[in-house]
Structure 1
Amino acid sequence: MDEPELTGMELPTVLSATRLKQAPAEVPGSMTVLDRDLIRASGARDVPELMRLVPGMMIGYNSGHRSNVNYHGLNTTEARRLQVLVDGRSVYRPGLATVDWTDIPLAIEDIERIEVFRGPNTAAYGANALMGVINIISTRPELRQGTRLKITDGNRGVRDLYASHGGAVGNTHARLSLFAKEDTGFDFDDDGEDFRDSRRLNAVNLFGTTQLDATQSLHWQVGAKEGSNQVDNDYTVLARPTDDDFLYDRLVDAHDDVSDVTARDYFAQLRWKNELSPTHSIELKTYAQHVERLSEWRACDSPVVFSPELRALYEAGNVYPRRINYILRDRGLWGDPEFYRAYLVNEDGLPPELLPLVESVVAQHAAARSGPPSCWDINENLRETRYEAELQNTWQMADNLRGVVGGNLRYDQAKSQTLFGGKVENHIGQLFGHLEYRPFERWMLHFGAMAEQDRLSGSSFSPRLAAQYFIRPTHALRLVYSEAVRSPDMYENNARWTYTPNNLSGPAVTDTEYYAIAEAPGGLDQERIRSSEVGYNGHFHRLGLSIDVRGFYEDIDNLISEPLQIVNFQPTNESSARFSGAETQIDWSATRQDRLRLTYAYVDFTASNRLDQRLTARNSGSVAWLRQWPAAINSSLIYYGADRLNERRFERLDGRLAKRFAIGTSSSLELAATMQYRLDDEGLTWPENLYESRDQYYLSAELSF
């Protein structure tokens, strides 16, 4: 298929779709590539904000330092269904099935590109790539030598520092990066109260490449991060104070011990590659990582939270303690037995024989209310560790046939006395393979699959079939069918969340076992998606224009939608969801100085669980204009919009203006200003996520030498 339009043209390639290096038109699915120029022009300080440039990606915030990135939506508070890789290392946490975007120890200044596979990709990366894969790729140290110093300062407490130095010793190139980041998060909640959600982090990353000989290379990386995230004390007081006539109410109301999270991350990874020939290579990668999220505080509550009678009511139905909460905090109710007896029995279905338990709990609390509350040390500490090793073999078997096969072994561990009652371990083994075959000049067929054995979730097999017809060498129509799974995380399948009291003070209690316990049922099945896709990818070289269009239908069964919480925790596989729609992305280098970019997604959906009906915008997208002006001035203007994110509209206009000054022959200084302006006046995802002003700005200065 040699054609004049390819003369002198270097086709772009992607690496993350099938583990084979491919041109965009050859990929069996839809890819979004965010390159270094686009990342820099966006002015984004965090990866989730970059994901707004990806069609169909829904970005939500629980707090200023906790964001959720979901492809096509589903639960607003948990992002469980995207595999996220940093240089091939998974940062998808096994314990709570989430990604801590704030705490990834990689500076955004060190990111070369981000490849996003939009659609199921368990066939290439195993369970948890249910909806897609985000692969964050660092700039190789040999491509970024010298020293860079950068400072960023702005409103909302923004203050970021970055420093890196790259050098070479013999056949080894390395880059050491140090960075710090902080901001104050949202300003206030919907009640006008201060929102304690600031963050602070410091991190170090050392990345190196060593050329062992003509065919063998080593890529190695180590990193560490420490920081803290402000979190309001989230312990829910059973008998919430409402009456200053009682000592208990006054002391509990005055008690406000913080439960800020201390976050620490450590990792080391190594990748060895041997180019045996121009058509055959083998690669071995391994890594170890450890994550700590430590939160400790002192809780105060009524001594009835340790009552065996309340535990018996909780075991009969967790709705009953919630109703008792209403009763205990209203003297008019707990002083009127006839009312609450009828209310519990008639409205909530409490068996009449359990009424004596209710009366006992009410009496215990009434007796204790004139004195101080019970107080004890509490924690939600969690430590997670992962070890992984993977071997893959890539070879070109014939001019029209190539493939990759490999295997992977992983060990995951989560330790928390509060969340798991100790330690949970898992062992995962994977075998994968992908074939790319051209039976005719204009046709390409793909077959890929992953077989996986998970000790906690059982075995699974995830296939993908695709066919492409090439209209021209860089223009292809595609048809894709794939299946993928997500394994229940350790919390969903192995939780034993309860609070063990330490250093208990206050009135005597009849027992020291907390009444509530979230105990996972075990035996949950894997979530499964069946996806069909038709699409087009084309690159018009003479016009500098790239277009990708995707039409999709996705059917998810065995969905686990229940939130991770200590009360009302009943995870099941009873939910389901269906997504259908279309997406497009257009990237056009209109002139040598102007780059225009458009994304749009239309998503029609149904979900059986109301919690999965919130974070899907029916219409969403972005429009960007990047411009290189004379005198080394660069500007960007980007619009983001979504018509419904947790029932809220989102529209924002971002602008960045930068000027580079040459200093001598090898040094430069760049000054940049970034401005973000919300075009709507709604809370970000949740009503309490509010700012005093619609605009955010920050200034940065970067010195390179």
Structure 2
Amino acid sequence: MQSCTAVKHLVPNGVAVSVRRLFRFAVLGPGALAADAFFDDIPIVLTASRMAQSPVDAPVAVTIIDREMITASGFTEIHDLMRLVPGFMVADWADGSPSVANHGLGDAYDRRIKVMIDGRTVNSPLWGNTNWQDLPLRVDDLERVEVVRGPNGAAYGVNAFQAVINLITRSPSTESGARVISRLGEDGFYDHGFRANGSADAAIDWRLSGSHRRAVNFRNYVDDGGEVNPRETITRSVLNLSATAQLSTRDELGLMLGISDGTSDRGIPGDLEEPLREDKSRSNFLHLTWRRSFAVDSELTVQYYHQDERMRAAWVNTRYPPLVIPLDMNSDVRRDDLEVQYSTTLSPTWRFMVGAGVRREAARAASMFNTRGTLSGTSSQLFGSVVWSPVEHLKVDLGGTLEDHHYSGPLFSPRFALNYALTPESALRLSAGVSYRTPSLVESNAEQVVRIGSQIKQLFLRAGDDMQPERVRHIEIGYAAMFRELGLGLDVRAFHKHYTDYIDDQRCFYPRQPWERPLPSGERFCPPAPSGYAPFEYDLRDGRGPRSFLFQNAGTFNMTGAEFSVDWHRPGWGRIVLSQAVIDINAGKDVPDPDFDTSAPTSITSLLLMKDLPGRWRASMGYYRHAVMNWLNDGDRVPEQGRFDLRLARSFGEPGSGNEVAVVAQSVGGRYADFHEGRYRHEPRLFASLNLSW
């Protein structure tokens, strides 16, 4: 099996091919691949430990969302694909980017999940979250998604805290010709895209793709009390280029670059605090890789990437008539990262990987950092992994990352895992480790102000002093198997996680006069305000006076749960992918948020059914349900609910061409509560699509 992964460099960008398919390709040539579907059953994953391996051998639980699932789901937004992963929740809200959470702890900024595109991190340096709608690629560009369903700091360092998502794009070498994709639906929805590829015999394999889309996600929702809540309509344009050049039999050079540009129409008509506005966003990236293969299972990779994000969001606050206060919500952020990695197999029983990287992050946000200019920090890390097979059927995996973070200093994230093979295609797994999340630039430096001239009239978010990084100690036991004769894949695990130094924002108050009495029990005074602080008279008269929200370490808690996924496939009939997760959070007395225990629903269900029909028709249905839960901070209670999606498609033209017409209905039951039951109702969507190649 070891020689199977030696040829993975033949497939750039980590295209989803099975280990045995790679072996057949290397030994018998490409003609053998189409002749034997027997070799379609064992995929490889690249994200679990940074080394190519079967999910059965991985030291952590991994879910693969393959191209068939991506198409059958009917999803047009990448974040929605996470609904297919056991234990994951997805929510959108009208005032910001969608949020993705694993096993709870979700709020407006999903900064506890590391998200990558082809191995490069795309989390924003400002908040640490992922701006899903601004990613410079589309679902049509994806070959597969690999999701590590738990902490993985041993492989990726700080901020791989709750999960790791790796979006793996299609390799230019796997396609030829051109393709157009067009989606049109009700309420002005459209999503038009194209892909153009170089010729198969060219010296450089390349692909250029682009798209332009518009969608109404939220209308102004009027709640039971007559209050009008925000709306959101997004428009985005995306363009990206991917190219690879085989410089020699050993050397390969890769280039990827992309841009996303668009607007978000948000706000409430006539509202003083959330007026109508148009937020403008742009994100760019450049990703360079050089890969050298020395021998079987011996490879050196060097990669550099740059990303920058720009947000232009000018508000006007008219809460204090007759004053009209301009609010500068603009931000500019960037990240530069250089990384080198070497992996090899020393013998049939020893395999190892080692690497190092350096990363610089910077952000400028005048209102968020009180006009302190550009804030930046440089971090470095060493990482490695050793896999040892002391006896037949047993693998011992030791991994870890030592990181010197610009805020938190040195942190070491270790992992210890045992995999015992019951059969060649099934194994028991025991894994334990420690992972960290460091404060984002906002959490560690926030001093969000509203100014009139030289005076600070309001203080919102503020950074606490001497915050410690969040830490999680995690242990899991799992079972993964592939029953080829049944067409069945199974993944079961139970886990326990202990969290300390959880970071949250808590309300604090400023004394209106120095001689005022202490605050009631459970409340706290804010740290001294910066010079020039002169609150509005309105705020001085309001209740307990001016207030801020202070980031600080807010307690410890435990999380226990279990999950399973079943993937059954029968050629000519179709496929069923079912997952279920149960989660329990037990917060300590030092966690002040009363909604914390219910931030994870007690159960989460995902079902994707794909059915082959006569005449080249295919139908699919998605069902996604969660029990009642609470999104934290800007979010709130969301009731128990299920969402149904339906898709009916017919392929035409040459077999394998991908030509298809389809009709998709998302959220068949109508509008549904999302992120905050009292404020947001996500819109359903009905559209038709055409996929045409030549």
Task: Tell me the amino acid that sits aligned with residue 623 of structure 1.
Answer: L
Partner of 1:244: none
Normalised by the length of structure 1, the TM-score is 0.82
Distance 2:681 2:301 in 1: 48
Task: Tell me the amino acid that sits aligned with residue 409 of structure 2.
Answer: G
Whether 1:186 aligns to 2:186 is no
Distance 1:386 1:690 in 2: 33
Partner of 1:704: 693
Partner of 1:641: 625
Task: Tell me the amino acid that sits aligned with residue 80 of structure 2.
Answer: E
**Bigger RCO of structures 1 and 2 (CA < 8 A, at least 6 apart):** 1
Measure how far apart 1:522 and its partner are. 3.7
The structure with the largest helix share of the pair is 1
In structure 1, runs of 5+ residues without a counterpart are 235-251, 303-371, 503-510
Measure how far apart 1:680 and its partner are. 8.4
Distance 2:74 2:238 in 1: 20
Question: CA 1:692/1:475 → structure 2, altered by over 3 Å: closer, same or farther?
Answer: closer
Question: CA 1:549/1:225 → structure 2, altered by over 3 Å: closer, same or farther?
Answer: same
Contact 1:442 1:470 in 2 (8 A): yes
Q: CA RMSD in A?
A: 2.5
Superposition pairs of residues 221-370 of structure 1, within 5 angstroms: 221-232=256-267, 257-302=275-320
Task: Tell me the amino acid that sits aligned with residue 140 of structure 1.
Answer: S
Question: CA 1:233/1:575 → structure 2, altered by over 3 Å: closer, same or farther?
Answer: farther
Whether 1:57 aligns to 2:57 is no
Partner of 2:642: 651
Partner of 2:417: 466
Measure how far apart 1:49 and its partner are. 1.2
The partner residue of 1:425 within 355, 362, 376 is 376
3-state DSSP of counterpart to 2:72: helix
The partner residue of 2:328 within 373, 379, 390 is 379
Contact 1:201 1:226 in 2 (8 A): yes
Question: Structure 1 stretch 619-628 or stretch 667-676: which is displaced more?
Answer: 667-676
Contact 1:583 1:600 in 2 (8 A): yes
Partner of 1:324: none
3-state DSSP of counterpart to 1:124: helix
3-state DSSP of counterpart to 1:24: coil
Distance 2:233 2:602 in 1: 31
The partner residue of 1:89 within 97, 101, 120 is 120
Measure how far apart 1:66 and its partner are. 2.5
Percent of paired sites with the same residue: 29
Question: CA 1:567/1:216 → structure 2, altered by over 3 Å: closer, same or farther?
Answer: farther
Partner of 1:588: 568
Contact 1:65 1:229 in 2 (8 A): no
Distance 1:458 1:582 in 2: 34
Distance 1:37 1:679 in 2: 25
Question: CA 1:227/1:680 → structure 2, altered by over 3 Å: closer, same or farther?
Answer: closer
Contact 2:229 2:679 in 1 (8 A): no
Distance 1:255 1:117 in 2: 40
Task: Tell me the amino acid that sits aligned with residue 621 of structure 2.
Answer: L
Question: CA 1:638/1:256 → structure 2, altered by over 3 Å: closer, same or farther?
Answer: closer
Task: Tell me the amino acid that sits aligned with residue 416 of structure 2.
Answer: L
Question: CA 1:545/1:517 → structure 2, altered by over 3 Å: closer, same or farther?
Answer: closer
The partner residue of 1:446 within 397, 402, 409 is 397
Q: 1:592-620, CA deviations, whole angstroms, 9 ceiling, x for partnerless residues?
A: 43111110001111233335344311111
Q: 1:62-108, CA deviations, whole angstroms, 9 ceiling, x for partnerless residues?
A: 22863110110113323120000011111111211211111101011
Partner of 1:475: 426
Measure how far apart 1:621 and its partner are. 1.2
Measure how far apart 1:9 and its partner are. 3.6
3-state DSSP of counterpart to 1:571: strand
3-state DSSP of counterpart to 1:62: coil
In structure 2, runs of 5+ residues without a counterpart are 3-19, 21-35, 509-545, 631-636
Q: 1:542-593, CA deviations, whole angstroms, 9 ceiling, x for partnerless residues?
A: 1111100010001111001227999531111122232111100010113443
Contact 1:74 1:611 in 2 (8 A): no
The partner residue of 1:674 within 664, 670, 688 is 664
Whether 1:205 aligns to 2:205 is no
Q: 1:653-687, CA deviations, whole angstroms, 9 ceiling, x for partnerless residues?
A: 11111112217x99674110111235587522312
The partner residue of 2:153 within 122, 131, 137 is 122
Task: Tell me the amino acid that sits aligned with residue 298 of structure 2.
Answer: H
Partner of 2:338: 389
Question: Structure 1 stretch 274-283 or stretch 108-117: which is displaced more?
Answer: 274-283
Q: 1:31-51, CA deviations, whole angstroms, 9 ceiling, x for partnerless residues?
A: 100000100000001122111
3-state DSSP of counterpart to 1:572: strand
3-state DSSP of counterpart to 2:107: coil
Whether 1:542 aligns to 2:533 is no
The partner residue of 2:408 within 457, 462, 465 is 457
Whether 1:570 aligns to 2:523 is no
Q: 1:104-128, CA deviations, whole angstroms, 9 ceiling, x for partnerless residues?
A: 0101101000000011101111111
Question: Structure 1 stretch 55-64 or stretch 402-411: which is displaced more?
Answer: 55-64
Question: CA 1:550/1:574 → structure 2, altered by over 3 Å: closer, same or farther?
Answer: same
Question: CA 1:575/1:668 → structure 2, altered by over 3 Å: closer, same or farther?
Answer: closer
Superposition pairs of residues 519-530 of structure 1, within 5 angstroms: 519-530=462-473
Question: Structure 1 stretch 276-285 or stretch 513-522: which is displaced more?
Answer: 513-522
Question: CA 1:550/1:564 → structure 2, altered by over 3 Å: closer, same or farther?
Answer: farther
Partner of 1:218: 253
Q: 1:679-699, CA deviations, whole angstroms, 9 ceiling, x for partnerless residues?
A: 587522312455597x53111
Partner of 1:531: 474
Q: 1:364-418, CA deviations, whole angstroms, 9 ceiling, x for partnerless residues?
A: xxxxxxxx61223221111101000000000101111101000010000000111
Contact 1:279 1:396 in 2 (8 A): yes
Distance 2:666 2:621 in 1: 10
3-state DSSP of counterpart to 1:702: strand
The partner residue of 1:413 within 362, 379, 389 is 362
The partner residue of 1:401 within 343, 346, 350 is 350
Partner of 2:653: 662
Distance 1:626 1:704 in 2: 23
Question: CA 1:26/1:666 → structure 2, altered by over 3 Å: closer, same or farther?
Answer: closer
Contact 2:674 2:682 in 1 (8 A): no
Question: Structure 1 stretch 683-692 or stretch 597-606: which is displaced more?
Answer: 683-692
Contact 2:461 2:551 in 1 (8 A): no
Question: CA 1:37/1:260 → structure 2, altered by over 3 Å: closer, same or farther?
Answer: same
